[in-house]
Chain A
Amino acid sequence: MSHKILHKVLHDICAQYDNNQHRMMDVLLDVQRCLKCIDGEAMNHIASLLGCTRIEVEGVVSFYSFFSDTPKGNISIYLCDDIIDRQAGLKKNAKAFEDALGICFGQTTPDGEFSLDYTPCIGMSDQAPAAMVNDIILPNLTPESIHLFIQALRAGTAPEDLDGVLGDGNNAHDLLRSQVHNNIQVRGDVLLCEVGEDAGLHKSLSLAPADIIEQIVASDLRGYGGAGFSTGDKWGFATATQDTERYVFCNADEGEPGTFKDRVLLTERPDLLIEGMTIAGRAIGSEYGLIYLRGEYVYLKPWLEHVLEARRQKGVLGKDIGGLKGFDFDIRIQMGAGAYICGEESAMISSCEGLPGEPKTRPPFPTEKGYFGHPTIVNNVETFCHVARIMDRGARWFHAIGTSASSGTKLLSICGDCSKPGVYEVPYGISVQELLEMSGAKDICAVQVGGPSGHLIARNEFNRKICFEDLPTGGSIMVFASTRNILEIVDYFLEFFVDESCGFCTPCRVGNVFLKERIGKIRKGHAVPEDIDYLKELSNTIIKTSRCGLGQTSPNPVLSSLNNFPLVYSALVNENEDGLDTNFNIQDALEESRHLAKHRSYIYDPDFGEG
């Protein structure tokens, strides 16, 4: 591409966002989509258009997985690589892609048509193996279907027109036409049952903002994104500030491996979500809402834009909402670009400001100083949906569901070794055993509750309950059959944290690499008892000194497997009887010298001279 055309493309893209540096994410997403690459020259030019430095642009480009400074294909394929996909036959699918395209992962075909990469969990664990092809999702892949898809793409079929079974519900809507399935297995009494249209919003309009917050407090609603913070209290903190420019952010980043329930809500209950956000706007006195949608869910964007526009037309979003003079509230969608850490609320705010997704220093908390220093409440998709229902049916109704410290129902994403993976809306307090029975999971040896940073529990704990007082979860429930290798699971989770750490603070950036290295040593059977102490001490340092929730929980797979599966470790750990350094492996070391010297060792290669 000539400089002139390049500059014109960049100029037009930046102009669309008023050359505003804070819209960096949108600018870069468009540039990547348009040019398939954001190289040094493009970065230089974007910097001059946005009035910032090239290194600032580069900092953002190099932070997010879906930006690339080398050319990606016109069709970029990201195959989902998580533990569920690995167990569902990732290897043969990966090979099918490589064979069909004639390239390896990380490469682009010489004609520039295709690029092939891995990406962590894309929120499709109930229909694994799955891949992203440009903006769309292809679930339930097999080597045969992969060959057919590539053939069709080669013949000029657009990814969105590829043959396949359309999904159920709104997935089949004209704006989506997606092959993704909802797999709703159990509809509970709060979100997935029939819900009244804007019933909660209309009731809220007759209430004073403080009374809305009071109802939310009375319902004991706790955030559904994982931490379980009181939603009413959070809103109260934001309202207590002097600053009246306030923001309502919806966390639709859903990056926790094994979670996909927000995807189903965004597909089937977008009105309820936006209704809940609008009620929040009224409650905290905010005019601006933002939905941070993970890059992997970009196929949902036209659908959500459509719902937003329909609501504006109906007068339940935008100006004078519901006829209430002066109640203005509107919402914009901010796309992510492949970074799990952006699910952390302050990192999400950084990303929305056009920065790398790095968490911010706390205090101050976002409720006090968030988006551009203004009070910002961040809530999960499911939390906002519950808000709308509570305002319709009342705090007492909601409070009566669930357990004493965990009110309401919870959407669980169940996946792995079960016959009915999918979304289950169940009251808090349900036991793991009940979930296994519901989902048709047999001969299960381990269940990971709450994603990689949660708990890996063994059979003797299957009577434990899903709720904040026992086993909390953002929604991810992965079930593993007795044939599965526990340490492979732990190893994968550590790999995930190593890849997704933002790298800002020392313990998380470096410590997780060391944890993974030592689990690798144990898997190879080289470990000694001291390695177990090492893992525990290192975990303690990472947990205690990391700056945000990622590092503060990333050693959990190690600690909970050590706790609940001690036999797995003891089977692989041997006393170091000769006292030699077990980190040192003579064969590994020799491999390098064999290469350099181009011959083998007389002493250590027993069959020397035979080959």
Chain B
Amino acid sequence: MSTAKTLTFTIDGKTIQAAPGQTIMQAADEAGFYIPRLCDIEGLRHQGSCRVCTVKVNGRTTSSCTQPAEQDQIVESETEEVLNLRRDLVRMLFHEGNHLCPICEASGNCELQAMAYRLNITQPTKFPYQQPVRSLDASHPDIALDTNRCIRCGRCIRASQDVDGKGVFGYVGRGVHRSVGVNGDNLADTNVDITDKAIAPETCPVGCIIRKGVGFTVPIGEREFDLMIIGADIEGKSDD
């Protein structure tokens, strides 16, 4: 970021510098202050849909991945109240889909699972399981799509549109029926390619987009979030 950091505000009492136009989350990241997130990922435009990055700004809740940093803002992030809101949101995502961690290929690399650990959600929650019936699209030779685990973050959609310049994925439906669809009858009917950013392992936070033939190359127990709490890489940064 080349713009000068002329703004100052605080998160949980810690002073943060920000450049005009930066979001609260961007400024926090650069200062080594991690705010949980699922739909936002570096390199893609902000969407603001999962709401896991909720913070309180001057007493009002908002999504920190879209809210611009402003001079003298007072931001609360790790308070019990805000943490409880995030816990509810992560629980909702678990209950909306079918997340069977012990048998999921993404276990240990899954950001939803890792977020649950970070927020201390370790047992079945108060919400009812929706157990939706969603189909599996294995039509493509290299890629399978299992939307049972989809959390509607839209990262694949934005990666395909903005990075790959393709538009392989898109949202369809409204309300609870909102889901990720593909640009054609099925994946094989699209111009998707295994080298697309949309298919890259870091794009899908859960285990929805499966690269065929590469499952379990890294054993469970040695995967990204088996070794590190989610966000620890950002918390390790310092702002200089």
Contact = CB atoms under 8 A, between A and B. Distances in A.
B186 to A, nearest CB: 11
A354 B77 CA distance: 37
A55 B49 contact: no
A512 to B, nearest CB: 8
A148 to B, nearest CB: 35
List of 7 A-B pairs having minimum Cβ-Cβ separation, nearest first: A503-B178, A55-B170, A55-B183, A510-B92, A541-B88, A53-B167, A501-B175
Nearest to A533: B126
B170 A56 contact: yes
Nearest to B154: A504
Contacts of B178: 502-504, 509
B218 interface: no
Interface in B74-116: 84-85, 88-89, 92-93, 95-96
A500 B175 contact: yes
27 contacts: A40-B185, A53-B170, A54-B184, A55-B168, A55-B182, A55-B184, A56-B167, A62-B172, A62-B177, A63-B174, A64-B174, A339-B174, A502-B178, A504-B178, A506-B49, A506-B51, A506-B89, A506-B92, A507-B89, A507-B92, A509-B96, A510-B96, A511-B88, A534-B126, A537-B88, A545-B61, A545-B89
Interface in A130-155: none
B111 to A, nearest CB: 14
Interface of B: 46, 48-52, 54, 61, 63, 66, 68, 84-85, 88-89, 92-93, 95-96, 126-128, 130, 151-152, 167-178, 181-185
Given A54-B183, A506-B49, A514-B127, 6 more contacts: A63-B174, A361-B46, A499-B175, A502-B178, A507-B92, A514-B95
A53 B192 CA distance: 13
A547 B68 contact: no
A420 to B, nearest CB: 36
Contact of B176 (A56, A62, A509): A509
Contacts of B151: 506
Contacts of A583: 128
Contact of B175 (A40, A498, A545, A546): A498
B49 A510 contact: no
Contacts of A197: none
A28 to B, nearest CB: 14
A493 to B, nearest CB: 15
Nearest to B90: A506
A510 B176 contact: yes
A534 B128 CA distance: 12
B167 A55 contact: yes
A445 interface: no
A349 to B, nearest CB: 16
Nearest to B53: A545
A538 B88 contact: yes
A58 B175 contact: no
A513 B176 contact: yes
Nearest to A500: B175
A422 interface: no
Nearest to A44: B184
A505 interface: yes
A233 B92 CA distance: 39
A517 interface: yes
Interface string A31-64: 0000000001000000000000111101100111
Contacts of A547: 48-49, 51, 63
Contact of A503 (B61, B88, B152): B152
Contacts of B61: 544-545
Contact of A59 (B168, B171, B175): B171
B119 to A, nearest CB: 13
Nearest to A63: B174
A104 to B, nearest CB: 20
A62 B54 contact: no
B92 A55 contact: no
Contacts of B126: 534
Interface in A186-242: none
B128 A498 contact: no
Looking at A356, A538, A544, the one whose CB has the most chain B CB atoms below 10 A away is A544
A54 B68 CA distance: 34
A510 B95 contact: yes
B175 A503 contact: yes
Nearest to A545: B51
A326 interface: no
Contact of B92 (A63, A504, A514): A514
A156 B35 CA distance: 64
A55 B46 contact: no
A537 B127 CA distance: 12
Contacts of B46: 361
A363 interface: yes
A517 B128 contact: yes
A537 B185 CA distance: 41
Given A55-B182, A356-B171, A361-B46, A503 B176 contact: yes
A595 B201 CA distance: 43
B51 A546 contact: yes
A547 B68 CA distance: 15
A505 B171 CA distance: 13
A533 to B, nearest CB: 10
A538 B176 CA distance: 17
Nearest to B178: A503
B174 A502 contact: yes
A508 B194 CA distance: 34
Interface in A320-342: 339
Interface string A506-528: 11011101100100000000000
Contacts of A505: 48-51
A59 B170 contact: yes
Contacts of B84: 541
B89 A541 contact: yes
Contacts of B184: 54-55
Contacts of B128: 514, 517, 583
A348 to B, nearest CB: 15
Contacts of A55: 167-170, 172, 181-184
Contacts of B96: 506, 509-510
A510 B174 CA distance: 12
Looking at A534, A545, A547, the one whose CB has the most chain B CB atoms below 10 A away is A545
B173 A63 contact: yes
A505 B39 CA distance: 10
B173 A544 contact: no
A204 to B, nearest CB: 36
Contact of B177 (A54, A503, A514): A503
A53 B63 CA distance: 30
Contact of B68 (A58, A363, A503): A363
A500 B127 CA distance: 21
A249 to B, nearest CB: 22
A511 to B, nearest CB: 6
Nearest to A514: B127
Nearest to B161: A53
B183 A544 contact: no
Interface in A51-88: 53-56, 58-59, 62-64
A210 B131 CA distance: 58
A347 to B, nearest CB: 11
Nearest to A508: B175
Interface in A8-44: 40
Contacts of A534: 126
A583 B124 CA distance: 14
